Amino acid sequence: MKELDPQSKARLLTAIRDVPDFPKPGIVFKDITTLLNDAEAFGLLMDHLAERYRDAKLSYIAGIESRGFIFGAALAAKLGVGFVPIRKKGKLPAATIAEKYALEYGFDEVEIHIDAFRGQKGANVLLIDDLIATGGTAEAAIKLIQDAGGTCVEACFIIDLAFLKGREKITPLAPVYAVLEID
């Protein structure tokens, strides 16, 4: 599958704003809202992802709350496949499957509808989110896809914060593609 060329990567990086000391001192937050409101950069990204996954025989795209919804829904529309939200506990209205994951201090939980793939066993699912850091949320999301009867064919992230090594946590569960890597 196709990867983005260096010139296009540089263009996308310039569209992402760094916000120092958010959400706490010492953190440099990668703000993708400036990528989203840059029509040219967002179009470049979505065209690239559509080209990469056009022949992947996807049944669904699953996006992790909340920024994964933006990229996932847009890509699902471009590819003509369904979109499935993976949400924080208590946000989905029907019967769900839940998966806990570790945080620095404690745990959190994400959920997917039991019937997310409409009873299609082995549905080919692309997982997408804006960023991978430590990999806990993505790991839980891949397990949810599997528990709901799907096959996670790849986990796609717009940004990989490579220094946090989250990719290593999820590579045993699914192949990983990051459009941009930040060391």
For residue 103, is pLDDT > 90? Answer: no
Catalytic (active-site) positions: 67, 104
Q: What is the mean pLDDT of residues 18-22?
A: 96
**Rounded distance, CA 117 to CA 66, Å?**
20
For residue 94, is pLDDT > 80? Answer: yes
For residue 105, is pLDDT > 80? Answer: no
The hierarchical CATH code for the domain 57-182 is: 3.40.50.2020
The dihedrals phi and psi of 55, each to the nearest 5 degrees, come to: -105, 20
Q: Would you list the domain boundaries of the chain?
A: 57-182
For residue 97, is pLDDT > 80? Answer: yes
**Rounded distance, CA 141 to CA 94, Å?**
18
Q: What is the mean pLDDT of residues 9-34?
A: 96
The dihedrals phi and psi of 144, each to the nearest 5 degrees, come to: -65, -45
19 confidence band (pLDDT: 50, 70, 90): very high
Burial of 183 by CB count in 10 Å (0-12 exposed, 13-18 middle, 19+ buried)?
Answer: exposed
What's the whole-model pTM score? 0.96
- 106/164: higher pLDDT: 164
**Rounded distance, CA 154 to CA 182, Å?**
20
What's the confidence (pLDDT) of residue 118? 96
First to last CA, the chain: 23
- Cα 115 to chain center, whole Å? 20
**What separation in angstroms does the CA of 69 have from each of 6, 27, 75, 159, 176?**
26, 24, 10, 15, 18
**Rounded distance, CA 113 to CA 150, Å?**
12
106 confidence band (pLDDT: 50, 70, 90): confident
What's the confidence (pLDDT) of residue 70? 98
- Best CA proximity match to 155, nearest among 183, 74, 137: 137
Q: What is the mean pLDDT of residues 163-172?
A: 96
What's the confidence (pLDDT) of residue 56? 97
Residues 122-152: tens digit of each pLDDT: 999 999 999 999 999 999 999 999 999 999 9
What's the confidence (pLDDT) of residue 57? 98
